[in-house]
Amino acid sequence: MADTEEKTSVAKPPVYILGNTPLAQYLAAKFILTGENAVIVASRQNCPTEIEISLREEHSLKKQKISIPCQHYSSEKAKMLIITSPNNRLKSELMLLSAAHFSAAPVIVFSMLSDFRIIESLLKHNTIRAGFDGWLQTKDNQIFILGGEPQVTLSKPFNTLEYSLKALSYFHGAEILCQTCEDKNQVFWQAFAGYAVSALASAHYRQSIFNILKNKDKQNLVNAAVNEICTLAAAENISLTSEEILKKIYNTPINYAYDTQTPNDSAKRELCNIHGIITNVARRHNLAVPALKQLRPQDISV
């Protein structure tokens, strides 16, 4: 029988996590399990008042049950703010926050944005870009941690150094693997490159990455798309190698499926965001990206 633990958060300055996403639930669970007061903030239609989940590792019978409190607005000064909102809900969910609650708190942004000005203008606060390297799958109120242990990367630019180091200590305190990188744009492209190609390929073929890579022609197109996205990154003065991005894609767990694999409005909006970023960079540097364009689903235009 699986070993089961139950823990709930205690009254401390909250770690607010914006957006009810698998990443938000995973991070909230990790903070709660180490005694922090983690609270998910999201709109009423996207979040109940409490989320009951179980955290499970792929190769372990151990199941940790966690109650995650939810709010529909920020209500007090926070220890830290973590933003995970999908791009199609980011603007509306930012309106649930009061800038005064985060004047002394690190603001960590996992949302896949190339430009943070909208966040910084609303919160009146410099942000810390973050990348997440891991595989989370949700099913039946359970979060499955697939593959190896997830790792977070935080940017550490000079103007947010104090907050970056403070955030680093908070993540370590929650027993989350965490490292820092001085270049915030490097953090973005490191997270975006493999995700973008995988999400596009999953949508284009309506298959998991594992099944896509079993086909030689599809594999060749994915390889070409990775080469192109590394060229885009290089044009932005970011050093990425095709080998490291392909390694991440080829290491995708067998049973992991990107949300874009299933056609729906949310997936379409996410694909539009990915294509928007790619197209803007390609136009800015006058670069051709035929493989990435080929992966674009027919009903997406940017």
Per residue in 215-240, pLDDT (tens digit) is 999 999 999 999 999 999 999 999 99
User: Can you give the pLDDT at residue 59?
Assistant: 67
Which of these three, 182, 209, 240, is where a domain ends? 182
Name which of 129, 116, 123 is nearest 97 in CA terms.
123
**Which residues form the domain of 34?**
4-182
pLDDT mean over 88-102: 92
pTM of the full predicted structure? 0.90
* Whole-number pLDDT of residue 71: 95
Instruction: Provide the CA 35 distance to its chain's centre, in angstroms.
Output: 23
Lowest mean pLDDT among 75-89, 190-204, 213-227, 256-270: 256-270
**Do the domain assignments include residue 300?**
no
Q: Two tokens at 298? A: 């027919």
CA distances from 148 to 110, 130, 141, 169, 254 (A): 20, 19, 21, 22, 13
| Phi, psi for residue 153 in degrees, rounded to 5 | -120, 130
Q: Which residue has the tokens 């372990």?
A: 60
CB 88 within 8 A of CB 112: no
Same domain, residue pair 51 and 79:
yes
How many whole angstroms separate alpha carbon 289 and alpha carbon 119? 30
Q: 47 near 68, Cβ under 8 Å? A: no
Structural domains of the chain, count: 2
Where residue 124 falls among pLDDT bands split at 50, 70, 90?
confident
In a domain, 100, yes or no: yes
Return the amino acid letter for 149. Answer: E
